[in-house]
A and B are shown apart, each in its own frame.
Chain A
Amino acid sequence: MTVELLIILTLVLGLVSYFMGRFNKVYGAVVTIIASMFVFISVGYMANDILDGSTFNYNAVKYLPVFATFTVSYLGIFFAILVTFVFAMVSFFNPFFVEKYKYPAVYNMLYIFSLAGVLGVFFTDNLMVLFFFFEFVVWSGLFIIPLGKSKKAAVSYYAFSTAGSFALLYAIFIMRDVAGTYNLYAGLASVSGTTQGTYVMILLSISAFSKLGAFPLHTWLPAAHGNAPHPFSPVLSGALVKLGAFVAILALVKLAPVGDLQSVFGSYTDATFLYASQYAVAILGAMTIVFGTLMAIRQDDAKKLLAYSSVSNGGYILVALSIGGSVGLAGGLYHIIAHALASAAAFLAIGAVSRVTGTSKMSELGGMIHKMPITYMVYLIAIISMAGIPPMGGFISKWLIFQAVIDNGLILIAVAVFFGSIGSFLYVFRPLAALFLGQELPQHKDKAKIPPFFMLLPMIILSLLIVYTGVFPNYILGFINDVMAELGVDALVIGKYTIQGPNGVLHPTLVASVFGVGVLIAFIIFIVLKKSRKVGLMDTYTAGNFIYTEELMHYSLDFYAPIERLYEKYINITEDFYKKLENKVVDFGRMVKYFFFTNKPEVTVFWIVVIIGFLLWGDL
């Protein structure tokens, strides 16, 4: 199975799912499961073969146009296997949600198409093909998002993604101009270290930022993730956003940096070893972390909250990649995995809740743990990983990133990184408390029940993997070392069970077992000690008053109001900026319309006179 064949087959499966979907909505959705599992397994085989040093030629191209070429690189495999896995897991949700869409068959088809697009992006070594598939993913997503709640979200998704694609395209043209070929590696190599390299780097960064939802190109992401159909949010956050990380690696790692930082800032900087471009990206990444965290704290909609957490995690990835070095890069790559798994699991959990309740707003939910305990566990594990608490995968990656930041003495960035980490404690536990704990709401009491097995299955698998990445990271880190070797970066020093950072050694397994013991003890205490008594919603009183109505007494609503008040004036700066930009364009358009389009011929005559006069005036 060559890459080309895989992509073509995926596209065909997409069409099959469309026609199946026309015939029966659910069958069509089942096809998406089959297709994405098929793709995942194929990529898995491919990865296995490549790791074993197989000689099978995956890159052969037979059917596609001549210029389409593919190269199975470690980097591509790394991303592909992660993303196809997320796709495969999420696809199990499709049959349960497909009923609600306006155009279900279209949803199924586009779901598979975006998968095909992702494969193309990761495996091609031709810049035009890269752009082609990049756009393909954008467009597939574009038509899925409005099937959810909001049309506006789709428009802003399109706007930012296209800005990114066009930046990429322009960068491609520059590389093509210098290298004389559309080959990805030749192109990147040819501009490395030159002036054009700077432009390419900036353009690729714009592309990466827009895709990754990093500050200041992040405004689309919460809207799109928050409003997309429930099964598509995890795909967006866990898989498609990672395209940005892929481009970021091209821009930050594969491209030799330009511009010594010291020549730009003189001796005022704390990062003498970094280049200006990398430092700028790192600073923006740090701002992204802070911004995402602050915004996530304020959200009421759990999906939006997770979306902002995705923004913030994108910031971590950018920081890690721009610092580079073996620790930084390894941290970045590991964080990509950790966040993909965690956010997919978290979004799936919330999707499962929303499926039965019809809302994902924290103020309208509560006490779901009673009916959906497994979903609760999944969500718990996911957010622990997101907050970077051992023994989950998020801890390992954050540890590596911290190591890299501290080791390089980047104080400003370190502050942001730590702030983000603490901030994530603040926000990830709010949905936990609001959605799952607390009082069970009467309006959802009857509807809530344990999700069907096929919805639980992917959630459980994801949770197990999150734990696995936290406890035994070394196998994956070994693979990451291969990737880094291909990228020309020194390998991270890892033992059988240890990770060697610059400031010390981490024993993930040991940490995990300590935590495990702690949890075990806590569980035993929980079992042994006297159980708390369950009371009904009415069977309680507050501040000396009896409660007479079954209304929600929510302690997680406006929980951080004091903190929010500190910055609520500034939250809309970027949105306002884009809004203003849009208004400027609209005003300009209106103005031109007003001045040029009347029902009198004099306007045309006037301009004719002016223009002829202008020409002849020049002659005088």
Chain B
Amino acid sequence: MKNFLAFVAVLVLGFLIITSLNNNEAFPNYGEADISERVSQAYIDRSATENPGDITFGETTDLESGPANIVTAIVADYRSFDTLGEVTVLFISSLGVALLLGGVNRKRIDLDFHPNFMLRVGSRALFGIILMTGVYVAIHGHLTPGGGFPGGAMIASSMLLLYLADDEFRVKIKGFKMLESVAGSLYVLIGLTGLLLISGGFFLENFLDNGVIGNLFSAGIVPIVYVLIGLKVGSEISGIIDNFLTEEAV
């Protein structure tokens, strides 16, 4: 009964919200958004600071922001600061998971599931492939869909595979910590380089050459940052997985 009432209540609320949005003269209907009225137009045209005119893939050089993937341009360049925050969120939640689940002596949870030899060898092979894919996705973040976060998650899932395929396996936490720390620090340091080393520079400024849009080696610091993000995310999520898969040794 209570559930039903609650269901009716949220149904009514949903209906109200939809009606209100439909009646809202300022809110665009689905599929009719006018991008040119929004700041995004500047991201598409790369015209936040200058007016580059038409952009042609593979030809136009030295845009204010180099990635061919406009989303990446926003995530890792225009609004890179958000991404720093986002990495921090993941960082702190991995710290938190370690704090909540961690302990000094930890051992693997017994999964009632013991992989055989084939599985172990096979997954080792697969591990490499997934890892490579992850790195690839992270590196090509400025050109293709994907980027640091899915890439990092793929790296972590290759670790996960090892965990599942081998019930004795444990990651070297120390190594991951190092990776996580170094990647994070480098991200901030790259940001600070823009601020401190270049006169009149800004935090997280893209101080490298943007190159030709569409090339692998283009977009200045964006690929570097994305790889760092990938490594950091990968190591953080691996840490989280490790914490979830272990328990306090009794």
| A interface with B by C-beta (< 8 Å) | 609, 612-613, 616-617, 619-620
Distance in Å from the Cβ of B10 to the closest Cβ of chain A? 6
Query: Could you list 21 A-B pairs, sorted by A, with CB under 8 Å?
Result: A609-B9, A609-B10, A609-B13, A612-B13, A612-B16, A612-B17, A613-B9, A613-B12, A613-B13, A613-B16, A616-B13, A616-B16, A616-B17, A616-B19, A616-B20, A617-B16, A619-B16, A619-B20, A619-B23, A620-B16, A620-B19
Chain A contacts of B13 at CB under 8 A? Answer: 609, 612-613, 616
**Given contact pairs A609-B10, A616-B16, A619-B16, a sample of 11 additional A-B residue pairs in the complex whose CB atoms are under 8 Å apart:** A609-B9, A609-B13, A612-B16, A612-B17, A613-B13, A613-B16, A616-B17, A616-B19, A617-B16, A620-B16, A620-B19
- Residues 1-26 of B contacting A (Cβ, < 8 Å): 9-10, 12-13, 16-17, 19-20, 23
CB-nearest residue of chain A to B9: A609
Chain B contacts of A609 at CB under 8 A? Answer: 9-10, 13
- Complex: how many Å from CA A612 to CA B16? 9
- Complex: how many Å from CA A616 to CA B10? 13
Distance in Å from the Cβ of B6 to the closest Cβ of chain A? 8
5 A-B pairs closest in CB distance: A616-B16, A616-B20, A613-B13, A619-B20, A609-B13
- Complex: how many Å from CA A613 to CA B15? 10
Interface residues of B, dominant DSSP? helix
Chain B contacts of A619 at CB under 8 A? Answer: 16, 20, 23
Chain B contacts of A613 at CB under 8 A? Answer: 9, 12-13, 16
Chain B contacts of A617 at CB under 8 A? Answer: 16
- Complex: how many Å from CA A123 to CA B9? 64
CB-nearest residue of chain A to B12: A613
- Complex: how many Å from CA A443 to CA B12? 80
Distance in Å from the Cβ of A360 to the closest Cβ of chain B? 62
| B interface with A by C-beta (< 8 Å) | 9-10, 12-13, 16-17, 19-20, 23
CB-nearest residue of chain B to A610: B9
- Complex: how many Å from CA A620 to CA B13? 12
Chain A contacts of B16 at CB under 8 A? Answer: 612-613, 616-617, 619-620
> Which of B9, B13, B17, B19 has the most A CB atoms < 10 Å from its CB?
B13
- Complex: how many Å from CA A616 to CA B13? 8
Distance in Å from the Cβ of B158 to the closest Cβ of chain A? 36
Chain B contacts of A620 at CB under 8 A? Answer: 16, 19
Chain B contacts of A612 at CB under 8 A? Answer: 13, 16-17
- Complex: how many Å from CA A374 to CA B38? 94
Chain A contacts of B19 at CB under 8 A? Answer: 616, 620
Distance in Å from the Cβ of B135 to the closest Cβ of chain A? 40
Chain A contacts of B10 at CB under 8 A? Answer: 609
CB-nearest residue of chain A to B19: A620
Distance in Å from the Cβ of A605 to the closest Cβ of chain B? 9
Distance in Å from the Cβ of A620 to the closest Cβ of chain B? 7
- Complex: how many Å from CA A612 to CA B23? 16
- Complex: how many Å from CA A619 to CA B19? 10
Distance in Å from the Cβ of A89 to the closest Cβ of chain B? 68
- Complex: how many Å from CA A616 to CA B15? 10
CB-nearest residue of chain A to B16: A616
- Complex: how many Å from CA A613 to CA B16? 7
Chain A contacts of B20 at CB under 8 A? Answer: 616, 619
- Complex: how many Å from CA A616 to CA B23? 11
- Complex: how many Å from CA A612 to CA B12? 11
- Complex: how many Å from CA A620 to CA B18? 11
- Complex: how many Å from CA A617 to CA B12? 10
- Complex: how many Å from CA A602 to CA B67? 44
Distance in Å from the Cβ of B82 to the closest Cβ of chain A? 26
Distance in Å from the Cβ of B27 to the closest Cβ of chain A? 13
- Complex: how many Å from CA A609 to CA B17? 11
- Complex: how many Å from CA A72 to CA B10? 69
Distance in Å from the Cβ of B162 to the closest Cβ of chain A? 37
Chain A contacts of B17 at CB under 8 A? Answer: 612, 616
Distance in Å from the Cβ of A615 to the closest Cβ of chain B? 9
Distance in Å from the Cβ of B140 to the closest Cβ of chain A? 41
Distance in Å from the Cβ of B241 to the closest Cβ of chain A? 27
Chain A contacts of B12 at CB under 8 A? Answer: 613
CB-nearest residue of chain A to B20: A616
Chain A contacts of B9 at CB under 8 A? Answer: 609, 613
> Which of A612, A613, A616, A620 has the most B CB atoms < 10 Å from its CB?
A616
- Complex: how many Å from CA A612 to CA B20? 11
- Complex: how many Å from CA A178 to CA B40? 54
- Complex: how many Å from CA A616 to CA B18? 10
- Complex: how many Å from CA A61 to CA B189? 61
Distance in Å from the Cβ of A490 to the closest Cβ of chain B? 71
- Complex: how many Å from CA A272 to CA B228? 92
Distance in Å from the Cβ of A147 to the closest Cβ of chain B? 49
- Complex: how many Å from CA A613 to CA B11? 11
Distance in Å from the Cβ of A226 to the closest Cβ of chain B? 55
- Complex: how many Å from CA A616 to CA B17? 7
- Complex: how many Å from CA A389 to CA B173? 96
- Complex: how many Å from CA A613 to CA B13? 6
Distance in Å from the Cβ of B5 to the closest Cβ of chain A? 11
- Complex: how many Å from CA A619 to CA B20? 7
- Complex: how many Å from CA A619 to CA B15? 13
Distance in Å from the Cβ of A164 to the closest Cβ of chain B? 47
Distance in Å from the Cβ of B18 to the closest Cβ of chain A? 10
- Complex: how many Å from CA A118 to CA B175? 74
- Complex: how many Å from CA A612 to CA B19? 13
- Complex: how many Å from CA A613 to CA B19? 12
- Complex: how many Å from CA A609 to CA B9? 8
Distance in Å from the Cβ of B86 to the closest Cβ of chain A? 24
CB-nearest residue of chain B to A613: B13
Distance in Å from the Cβ of B159 to the closest Cβ of chain A? 33
- Complex: how many Å from CA A609 to CA B10? 7
- Complex: how many Å from CA A316 to CA B9? 63
- Complex: how many Å from CA A613 to CA B14? 9
- Complex: how many Å from CA A619 to CA B21? 11
CB-nearest residue of chain A to B21: A616
- Complex: how many Å from CA A237 to CA B16? 64
- Complex: how many Å from CA A612 to CA B13? 8
- Complex: how many Å from CA A16 to CA B247? 66
Distance in Å from the Cβ of A617 to the closest Cβ of chain B? 7
- Complex: how many Å from CA A299 to CA B133? 93
Distance in Å from the Cβ of A445 to the closest Cβ of chain B? 73
Distance in Å from the Cβ of A438 to the closest Cβ of chain B? 73
- Complex: how many Å from CA A103 to CA B3? 61
CB-nearest residue of chain B to A612: B13
- Complex: how many Å from CA A619 to CA B17? 10
- Complex: how many Å from CA A143 to CA B115? 76
- Complex: how many Å from CA A613 to CA B12? 8
- Complex: how many Å from CA A617 to CA B15? 10
CB-nearest residue of chain B to A608: B13
Distance in Å from the Cβ of A374 to the closest Cβ of chain B? 77
- Complex: how many Å from CA A609 to CA B16? 11
- Complex: how many Å from CA A617 to CA B13? 9
CB-nearest residue of chain A to B18: A616
Distance in Å from the Cβ of A246 to the closest Cβ of chain B? 59
CB-nearest residue of chain B to A602: B6
- Complex: how many Å from CA A338 to CA B23? 77
Distance in Å from the Cβ of A600 to the closest Cβ of chain B? 13
Distance in Å from the Cβ of A16 to the closest Cβ of chain B? 55
- Complex: how many Å from CA A620 to CA B24? 11
CB-nearest residue of chain A to B23: A619
- Complex: how many Å from CA A103 to CA B208? 72
- Complex: how many Å from CA A609 to CA B13? 7
- Complex: how many Å from CA A498 to CA B20? 85
CB-nearest residue of chain B to A616: B16
Distance in Å from the Cβ of A273 to the closest Cβ of chain B? 64
- Complex: how many Å from CA A609 to CA B5? 12
- Complex: how many Å from CA A224 to CA B10? 56
- Complex: how many Å from CA A616 to CA B9? 13
- Complex: how many Å from CA A617 to CA B23? 13
CB-nearest residue of chain A to B15: A616
